[in-house]
């Protein structure tokens, strides 16, 4: 079982119920469980806006939390369904309002935020692998991330991406094969 | 599809369905991977390493969003049954509905037994 997946386990129903009844600490448990996987998914889906989109996802989760029913797998499926929609919204928004390339900006307008240093990569292997996954065809990358990072099964991923389980298996298989080629060549 | 040069780490073996599923489900750690599968197993493992401090740095913001946006589920109070007209269906009251259909006498204020029955059988 991946470290990121289903880490709450048997305590999930109690944690969820507490969060639904106003326990901020219980919500924090859900957040700590979901946020790292969410960020890794979004870093590939919307590389420049992963943290912003993740924040929007959690706002939407908070709004709908009281009405959520289901186990931990369903919870993750819900979380990543929201994330996927928000990522698609962000991509559409950017396609309508393209951002000027950084190189076109005057030097004094280049973004220099205190957070820039925080963008330093904590885990080189993870970042390098995410970059390799990002180079895959979109559908293959998405399926691999939803299976591996989100810890969802084939059927759940199929529902989220709106394809058949067979198509998801094929995409995952092709994506893994290609990812294997990339990491073998580049030594990621 | 890019033309990938030959690898110094060897070629990628064909990934069978079982190995594919094991990788995706996180059930093929690098320690258990065959030599040819090792780079891929390491890559998959890298995707699922424990969260970094940076990935968890937004917790205060998330808590604030929860405090600001969470609304407790409002449970509708148990509904009282609608007030009913005082029923005349007490002792000697008026039956309605099915009972009125089955026992038409009881649906009217006709006395029981009816007069005609008191004089039954008719005297010749």
Which residue of A lies nearest to B51 if distances are taken between CA atoms? A36
Q: Per the domain annotation, does A113 fall within a domain?
A: no
- In A, which residues are within 8 Å of B17 by CB distance? 173
- Beta carbons of B62 and A39 less than 8 Å apart: no
- Note whether residue A26 is domain-resident: yes
ipTM of this predicted complex? 0.81
What's the rounded Cα separation, in Å, for the pair A143 and A149?
10
Domain that holds residue A170: 123-188
Give the separation between CA A128 and CA B20, rounded to whole angstroms. Answer: 21
Residue B91: the pLDDT is 44
Among B9, B58, B70, select the one facing A51 at the smallest CB separation. Answer: B58
The pLDDT value recorded for residue B116 is 52
From the list B17, B51, B71, the residue facing A66 with the nearest CB is: B71
Count structural domains, chain B: 1
* Same-domain pairing of A2 and A72: yes
B43-95 pLDDT tens trace: 999 999 989 899 999 999 999 999 988 766 655 556 666 665 554 444 444 44
B66 touches chain A (CB under 8 A): yes
Tokens of A104: 């076109």
Q: Would you say residue A152 lies in a domain?
A: yes
What does each C-alpha distance from A112 to A108, A115, A119, B7, B115 come to in angstroms? Answer: 9, 8, 12, 39, 104
**pLDDT tens profile B7-50:** 445 566 688 889 999 999 989 999 998 888 899 999 999 999 98
| Gap between the Cα atoms of A176 and B18, Å rounded | 13
For the whole model, what pTM was predicted? Answer: 0.73
Do A152 and A83 fall within a single domain? no
Judged by a CB distance cut-off of 8 A, whether residue B92 touches chain A is: no
Rounded-to-integer distance, Cα B44 and Cα B40, Å: 6
What's the number of domains chain A is made of? 2
Q: How much is the pLDDT for B16?
A: 87
Final residue in a domain of this structure, among A50, A81, A97: A97
Same domain, residue pair A148 and A75: no
Decide if A114 is inside a domain. no
In terms of domains, do A4 and A51 share one? yes
Provide, as residue numbers in chain A, all residues whose Cβ is less than 8 Å from the Cβ of B5: 185
Residue A6 neighbours by CB under 8 Å, 6+ apart: A72, A73, A76, A151
Q: Does A73 touch chain B (CB under 8 A)?
A: no
For residue A132, give how far its alpha carbon lies from the nearest alpha carbon of chain B (Å): 9
A2 with A63, same domain: the answer is yes
Which of B7, B49, B69 lies closest to A62 in CB terms?
B69
Min distance A118 CA to chain B CA atoms (Å)? 7
Q: Which of A139, A184, A169 is CA-nearest to residue B18?
A: A169
- The CA angle A69-A49-A137, to the nearest 5 degrees, is 85
> With a CB-CB cutoff of 8 Å, which residues 18-47 of chain B face chain A?
20, 23-27, 37, 39-40, 42-44, 46-47
Task: Locate the chain B residue with the closest alpha carbon to A181.
Answer: B12
A90/A2 same-domain check: yes
Distance, in Å, from the CA atom of B101 to the CA atom of B95, rounded to the nearest integer, reads 9
**CB-based contact (8 Å) between A65 and chain B?**
yes
pLDDT, block means (10 residues), chain A with 188 residues: 66 96 96 95 94 95 95 96 96 80 52 41 81 95 96 96 97 95 83
- CA-nearest of A59, A39, A61, A36 to A50 is A39
């Amino acid at each position: 079982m991946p470290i990121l997946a289903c880490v709450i386990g048997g305590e999930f129903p109690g944690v969820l119920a507490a969060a639904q009844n106003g326990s901020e600490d219980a919500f924090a448990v859900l957040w700590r469980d979901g946020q790292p996987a969410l960020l890794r998914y979004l870093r590939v889906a919307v590389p420049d806006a992963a943290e912003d989109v993740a924040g929007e996802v959690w706002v939407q989760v908070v709004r709908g939390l009281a009405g959520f029913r289901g186990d931990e797998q369903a919870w993750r499926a819900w979380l990543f369904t929201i994330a996927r929609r928000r990522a698609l919204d962000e991509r559409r928004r950017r396609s309508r309002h393209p951002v000027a390339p950084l190189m076109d900006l005057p030097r004094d307008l280049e973004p220099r935020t205190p957070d820039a240093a925080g963008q330093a990569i904590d885990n080189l292997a993870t970042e390098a692998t995410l970059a390799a996954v990002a180079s895959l065809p979109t559908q293959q990358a998405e399926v691999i991330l939803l299976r591996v990072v989100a810890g969802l099964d084939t059927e759940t991923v199929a529902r989220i991406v709106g394809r058949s389980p067979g198509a998801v298996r094929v995409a995952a298989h092709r994506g893994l094969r290609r990812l294997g080629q990339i990491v073998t060549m580049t030594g990621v | 599809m890019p033309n990938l040069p030959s690898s110094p780490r060897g070629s990628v073996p064909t990934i069978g369905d079982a190995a594919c599923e094991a990788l995706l489900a996180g059930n093929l750690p690098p320690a258990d991977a065959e030599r040819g599968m090792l780079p891929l197993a390491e890559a998959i493992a890298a995707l699922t390493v424990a969260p970094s401090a940076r990935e968890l740095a937004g917790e205060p913001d998330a808590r604030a969003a929860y405090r600001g946006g969470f609304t407790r589920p409002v449970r509708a109070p148990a509904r009282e049954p609608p007030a009913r007209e005082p029923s005349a269906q007490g002792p000697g009251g008026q039956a309605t509905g099915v009972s009125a259909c089955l026992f038409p006498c009881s649906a009217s204020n006709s006395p029981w037994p009816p007069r005609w029955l008191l004089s039954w059988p008719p005297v010749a």
